[in-house]
Amino acid sequence: MAQPSGSNRGKEAHMEQLITFVVLIAIGYFAGTAAESRHYRSIRERERQFLNLPAVTARNFLDDREEVAGTMLVYGNVVVSLDYFKRILAGLRNIFGGEVKSYLTLIDRARREAVLRAKKMAGNADIILNLRIETSSIGQNANRKNAVGSIEVLAYGTAVTLKK
Amino acid sequence: MILTNVETVPGKRIAEHFGVVSGSTVRAKHVGRDIMASFKNIIGGELKGYTELLNDSRKQATDRMMEQARQLGANAILNVRFATSSVAQGASELFVYGTAVRVE
């Protein structure tokens, strides 16, 4: 059998790269979509559970007549990263501009999750005052241009328990 | 020690101010976590290792701030704020600051 020529070997290498690329996209797409819808379901359910614990951005929401039993600083944080498929989508979006929906849902999920964790920490408090949400990018790609590495979302506020 | 991120401690009167107290820590993630995170980068979603790491570091920074306030004789810290900045590749600084006061 004849040795494969140089250009043939080059084609094989290209094929391998292409296959890896397609496999990564497929994994990213299927696993990422499944994880996202599962996460949204769980977020919606827990948000319903915490309906009786409102979180407000107001600093002074309390009536003078209400007696305060306890105060506590509560916080919740989440670190999320993008899947391979979304990264490609966002890369394509960079060409035409416009809203990058794939990033949007990821950060939205992270924010809601962080707020839920802060509420969980509040326990049986009655209200969370001065809720603040902070987003920062961390990790390997944080300082690189045009790259979203991992994003950390931190939500914090003051949980107040009233005397009943 | 009472911590709040509003200007008062709801339901309490401020007796004395001690000025700003702060605590910070710079943390790098370790290799094992980094490898797990790069796998997770294919699928996307929450990186639990990093979440825990940052949560622990923030607690440490808060503890340092509380220690400083305790030395001043304060029993509450008002208007607590958190700040995060990435100082170098793979390392982030977690900074927390507030106003130490004594409440009655």
Predicted pLDDT of residue A80: 85
| Tally of structural domains, chain B | 1
Contact A67, A136 (CB under 8 A): no
**Among A residues 66-125, those touching chain B with beta carbons less than 8 Å apart:** 67-69, 71-73, 75, 77-86, 106, 110, 113
What are the pLDDT digits (tens) for A39-86? 899 999 999 999 989 899 988 777 777 788 889 999 999 988 876 677
Residue A132 bridge partners (DSSP): A156
Closest chain B CA to residue A66: B11
Question: What CATH code would you report for A6-162?
Answer: 3.30.110.70
Residues 6+ apart with CB under 8 A from A130: A56, A57, A58, A59, A157, A158, B5, B6
Predicted pLDDT of residue B68: 94
What are the pLDDT digits (tens) for B39-89? 666 666 788 878 888 899 999 999 999 999 999 999 999 999 999 887 776
A113: Cα within 13 Å, side-chain hemisphere: 25
**What is the domain extent for residue B64?**
2-103
Q: Where are the domains of chain A?
A: 6-162
Closest chain B CA to residue A141: B89
CATH number at residue B74: 3.30.110.70
* Beta-carbon separation of B44 and A113 below 8 A: no
* Beta-carbon separation of B47 and A81 below 8 A: yes
DSSP-derived secondary structure letter, A55: B
Residues of A in contact with B82 (CB under 8 A): 75, 134, 154, 156
Could you give the ipTM of this predicted complex?
0.84
